[in-house]
C-alpha cells in the first residue's frame, strides 16, 4: 500500500512538472492584431512601416495609417466583380513608388459586351492621398469566361522592372492551360506600362499570346522572388491533392492538367501521369491539399533563424508553412500560426516583421514579431 502511494505521488509530481513546463513554454514570436472587421482581406502592400494598403475582395482598397484602419476606403478604384472566388484581389507597388506613387491592382470584372462573362483585369493608378487617379489598364485576360473561379491575380515585379501576373485556369477550362492561344493557366509578363517585352518566349510562336511567360498552371495563388531576384517561386492549388510549389523559368510548361499529383473532386483520375518529358516537376507538392494562398520570401533581420525561408499561408486547415531552403533545396517544413483560422496572405514588412490576414467577412490583420 505504501508502495502504491509512493508511485501515485511520483506520477502526480511528474505530470504537474510537465504541466508547469507546458504552461511556461513560449513561442519565439508573438501575434498582435493590427486591424479587424476587414471584409475578406486579400492583398497587402506596404507604403512604409506606418502605412499599409489592404485589398478587400468585396471591392474596396483600405489604408491603415499609424496602426489605425481609416474609415473610408481609397476612392477611384474601378468596380470589380465580387462573385465566387472573384473580387478585388492582388496589389503591388511600383518599384519606384516613392517617386511616382503608382500602384497595381488585379481583380475580376464583368465583360462589358456580355454580362454573363467575366475576366481578370490588371490596372495601375497613382495614389494621391486617399484617391487613385489616372487609372489605366495594364492587362486583361482573354478570352472571357463563364465561371467565377481560379483567377490567379497575384503579381510581382522582377529586377528588370517587368511585371509577372498569374492567370488561373478558370476551373472549367483546364485543357486550355496547355494551349498558347489563351491566358488560362498562364503566367503573364508585361512591362510596367502593359507593353510586351521584346524577349518574351512566345512572341514568334504563331497563334500564341505574346504576353505568356510560362504555362500549364492551375490556380496560381502565390508568386515571389528571392532576395536578389534571381529565382521566381510560384505556388498553386491542385484539385484533391497535388498543390504545388514551382520554380518558374520563362517558356517552360508546368504540366497541368497533363500531369498532376492530385485527383478530381469526384475521385476520378484527371491524368494517369505524374511526369512527362518536356514538363516541369514541382519543387514540392502536398497531398492532401493545404490550399496555399499567399507567400513571402523572408529576408528580414528580426528573425535571423528564418532568413532565406519561404513562408506559405494555407487556407486548409489554416496555418503557415515555413520552408527552410539551403543551396536551393527545401530541407524542412515547419507549421506555424495554426490557431487563428484560414490565412489568406502573408508578407514581410519593411522592418522585418511578418503580416498576415485571415479569410473572413470579419478578417483580421496580424503582425508577427519576436517574443523578447
Neighbours of 76 (CB within 10 A): 16
Question: Assign residue 83 a region: left if phi > 0, alpha if psi is -120 to 50, beta otherwise?
Answer: beta
- Inter-residue contact 367 to 31 (CB < 8 Å): yes
CA distance 241 to 247: 19
- Inter-residue contact 91 to 156 (CB < 8 Å): no
Extract the C-alpha cell encoding 43.
492583398
**What is each CA distance from 186 to 14, 171, 177, 219, 271, in whole angstroms?**
58, 13, 7, 9, 19
| DSSP state letters, 257-311 | TTS-S-B-TTS--S-S-S--TTSPPPSEEESS---EEEEEE---SS-GGGTT-EE
- Do β-strands 163-167 and 186-190 pair in parallel, antiparallel, or remain unpaired? antiparallel
Which residues are known catalytic residues? 150
Neighbours of 21 (CB within 10 A): 9
CA proximity to 153, closest of 91, 106, 223, 118? 106
Q: Please report which residue ranges of the chain form alpha helices under DSSP H.
A: 2-24, 97-100
Amino acid at each position: 500500500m505504501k508502495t502504491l502511494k509512493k508511485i501515485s505521488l511520483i506520477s502526480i509530481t511528474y505530470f504537474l512538472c510537465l504541466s508547469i513546463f507546458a504552461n511556461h513554454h513560449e513561442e519565439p514570436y508573438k501575434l498582435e492584431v493590427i486591424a479587424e472587421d476587414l471584409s475578406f482581406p486579400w492583398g497587402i502592400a506596404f507604403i512604409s512601416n506606418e502605412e499599409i494598403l489592404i485589398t478587400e475582395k468585396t471591392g474596396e482598397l483600405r489604408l491603415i495609417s499609424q496602426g489605425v484602419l481609416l474609415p473610408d476606403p481609397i476612392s477611384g478604384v474601378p468596380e470589380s466583380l465580387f462573385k465566387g472566388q472573384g473580387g478585388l484581389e492582388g496589389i503591388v507597388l511600383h518599384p519606384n513608388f516613392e517617386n511616382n506613387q503608382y500602384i497595381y491592382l488585379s481583380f475580376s470584372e464583368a465583360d462589358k459586351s456580355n454580362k454573363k462573362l467575366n475576366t481578370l483585369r490588371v490596372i495601375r493608378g497613382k495614389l494621391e492621398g486617399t484617391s487613385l487617379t489616372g487609372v489605366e489598364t495594364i492587362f486583361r485576360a482573354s478570352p472571357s469566361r463563364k465561371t467565377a473561379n481560379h483567377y490567379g491575380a497575384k503579381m510581382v515585379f522582377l529586377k528588370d522592372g517587368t511585371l509577372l501576373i498569374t492567370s488561373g485556369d478558370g476551373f472549367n477550362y483546364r485543357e486550355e492551360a496547355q494551349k498558347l492561344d489563351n491566358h488560362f493557366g498562364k503566367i503573364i509578363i508585361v512591362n510596367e506600362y502593359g507593353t510586351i517585352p521584346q524577349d518574351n518566349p512566345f512572341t514568334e510562336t504563331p497563334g500564341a499570346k505574346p504576353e505568356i511567360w510560362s504555362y500549364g498552371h492551375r490556380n496560381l495563388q502565390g508568386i515571389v522572388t528571392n532576395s536578389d531576384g534571381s529565382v521566381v517561386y510560384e505556388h498553386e492549388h491542385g484539385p484533391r491533392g497535388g498543390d504545388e510549389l514551382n520554380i518558374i523559368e520563362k517558356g517552360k510548361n508546368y504540366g497541368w492538367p497533363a500531369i498532376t499529383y492530385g485527383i478530381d473532386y469526384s475521385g476520378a483520375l484527371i491524368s494517369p501521369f505524374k511526369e512527362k518529358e518536356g514538363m516541369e516537376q514541382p519543387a514540392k507538392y502536398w497531398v492532401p491539399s493545404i490550399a496555399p494562398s499567399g507567400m513571402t520570401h523572408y529576408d528580414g533581420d528580426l528573425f535571423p533563424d528564418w532568413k532565406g525561408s519561404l513562408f506559405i499561408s494555407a487556407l486548409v486547415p489554416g496555418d503557415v508553412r515555413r520552408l527552410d531552403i539551403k543551396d536551393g533545396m527545401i530541407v524542412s517544413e515547419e507549421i506555424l500560426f495554426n490557431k487563428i483560422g484560414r490565412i489568406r496572405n502573408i508578407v514581410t514588412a519593411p522592418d522585418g516583421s511578418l503580416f498576415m490576414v485571415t479569410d473572413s467577412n470579419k478578417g483580421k490583420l496580424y503582425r508577427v514579431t519576436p517574443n523578447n
